[in-house]
Amino acid sequence: MDNATHTLFALTLARTPLGRAGRGTTAALVLASNAPDIDIVATWGGAVNYLRWHRGPTHGPLGVLVLGLAAAGLVWAALRAFDKNPNHDPPASLPMLAAISTIGVLFHVLMDFPTSYGTRLLSPFDWHWWAVDWMPIIDVYLLVALAAGLLFGRMSDAARRRNAAIVLALMAANYGVRAAAHHQALTTAPRLFGPTLPPPCDPSSSDRGAIERWPQPAGLTPRDPAKRCLVQIVALPTFFSPFNWRVIAHLSNGYEVHDVDVLDVRFRRPADPSEVLWRTTLRIPNVWTPQVWTAASTNLGRTFLGFARLPAARSFVDPFETATIRWNDMRFIGGRRSLATAQNDPFSVVIRIAPDGHVLAEQLTP
């Protein structure tokens, strides 16, 4: 989630019984709810360094504890140094601030986890990414509900508490609706892709469960173009409607993409034999040539493939045998226009390999 959402959620929590622990609890919640994103300092080492560390240890179990204690310590020290008014309510104790700050950090991680971007829940002990694909990175409905609850709950303490409870209930309903719509989007896949959908590469692993985890071991994502099979199907949320989803079939040699509205009346009745939804499918190749494998062994290649959940590789070899390899993460493609050479999606990688195998250039966008 974005930091505006994290901040508004922290202010909402401060209007629940958590806010009665004493002065400083609101500041502690706001600070702690944004603390995991301190990993933005990694941008000082460049975009590749940021990609390597973002949502890493600061979003793992050690980060939750350390950042919770750090936020509590900062607020407690600020209260002792600057809050000299004896007429105020008593300040929260350091142990109470530590508990509340840890809750704030934990909620940050839990709000990142349902997004399609995902988070590395167990880092630094395990660097895999985890996600459930219910939410976009920025959810306008959460932002509106949180902002409205804060705006209209300023009249009295009772109104603040009541509005906070209403907002939390609306948030839970939003998550529930998106979870149900996500499941429905996945069930439409056979009709969307029709006869173009190949059999699973590994039938025993076709049911991957509700939680996604990546990167997968190389053996679970076959690269042999001659063996066209289905690796997995994912449904990704869109920004403006909880009912519009992008369904992606990850194949052994490419991707097939279809946008779907789960409220479409066609999906409320059995499929018509003349239905040809699969004819509007967007197909994107993902062929791993020897040059692509070479690019995958570079520093940028390893970093990107450790981050990208659905990497699509395209390569071109010029008359001088110099190879240009481009990867896009299919989670962030914008549609057909993004396949044009001049169009760069977020998190796009271009690597140029000389005929002798050494790297001529590496570029990560944005």
More confident residue, 223 or 182: 182
Strands 244-251 and 282-285: unpaired
| 11 and 105 inside one domain | yes
- Per-residue pLDDT, averaged over 75-98, amounts to 83
Q: What is residue 339's predicted lDDT score, i.e. its pLDDT?
A: 43
- Specify whether 233 is located in the same domain as 300: no
Averaged pLDDT of the chain: 88
pTM for the model stands at 0.90
Q: Which of 155, 181, 207 is the last residue of a domain?
A: 181
The count of domains in the chain is 3
Name beta bridge partners: 248.
234, 257
Residues 159 and 252 in one domain: no
Question: Are both 73 and 220 inside the same structural domain?
Answer: no
Question: What mean pLDDT comes out for the span 298-307?
Answer: 93
**Selection from 184, 178, 190 nearest residue 281 by Cα:** 190
Same domain, 62 and 148: yes
Q: What is the DSSP letter of 114?
A: T
pLDDT > 70? residue 346: no
Mean pLDDT of 359-363: 91
Q: Are residues 66 and 151 in the same domain?
A: yes
Q: What is the mean pLDDT of residues 29-56?
A: 92
144-150: long-range contacts at Cβ-Cβ below 8 A with a sequence spacing of 24 or more?
145/170, 145/171, 145/174, 146/5, 146/8, 146/9, 146/11, 146/12, 146/171, 147/8, 149/12, 150/8, 150/11, 150/12
- Return the C-alpha torsion angle 63, 167, 262, 138, nearest 10: -40
Range of the domain at 311: 290-365
Instruction: State percent of the chain over pLDDT 90.
Output: 62
Quote the pLDDT of residue 277.
85
DSSP 8-state symbol, 250: E
Percentage of residues in the chain having pLDDT higher than 70:
90
Report, as an integer, the average pLDDT of 198-203. Answer: 84
Q: What is the mean pLDDT of residues 31-49?
A: 91
Domain check: are 272 and 174 in the same one?
A: no
Q: How far apart are CA 262 and CA 186, in angstroms?
A: 10
The residues that bridge with 313 in the sheet, in sequence order, are 327
- Give 3-state DSSP helix, strand, coil % of the chain, rounded to 5: 50, 20, 35
Final residue in a domain of this structure, among 214, 249, 284: 284
pLDDT value of position 160:
86
The pLDDT of residue 34: 97
Same-domain pairing of 167 and 232: no
d(CA 75, CA 263): 48
Residue 159 has pLDDT above 70, yes or no: yes
List the alpha helices (DSSP H) in the chain. Answer: 3-13, 25-34, 47-53, 61-82, 94-112, 140-151, 157-187, 189-193, 290-296, 299-307
Q: Provide the pLDDT for residue 69.
A: 97
User: Is residue 133 domain-shared with residue 232, that is, in the same domain?
Assistant: no
Band of pLDDT at residue 28, cut at 50, 70 and 90: very high
Mean pLDDT, range 72-95, rounded to an integer: 83
Tell whether the model's pLDDT for residue 77 goes beyond 90. Answer: yes
Last residue of a domain, one of 226, 260, 284: 284
Query: Does 156 score more than 80 pLDDT?
Result: no
* Residue 113 to residue 250: CA distance in whole angstroms: 22
Q: Are residues 29 and 93 in the same domain?
A: yes
Q: Does one domain contain both 132 and 221?
A: no
Q: For residue 220, is pLDDT > 70?
A: no
Q: What's the rounded mean pLDDT across residues 191-197?
A: 89
Q: In whole angstroms, what is the distance from residue 322 CA to residue 325 CA?
A: 10
Residues 340 and 263 in one domain: no
Q: CA-CA distance, 365 to 359, in Å (whole number)?
A: 18
Sign of CA dihedral 203, 257, 186, 273: negative
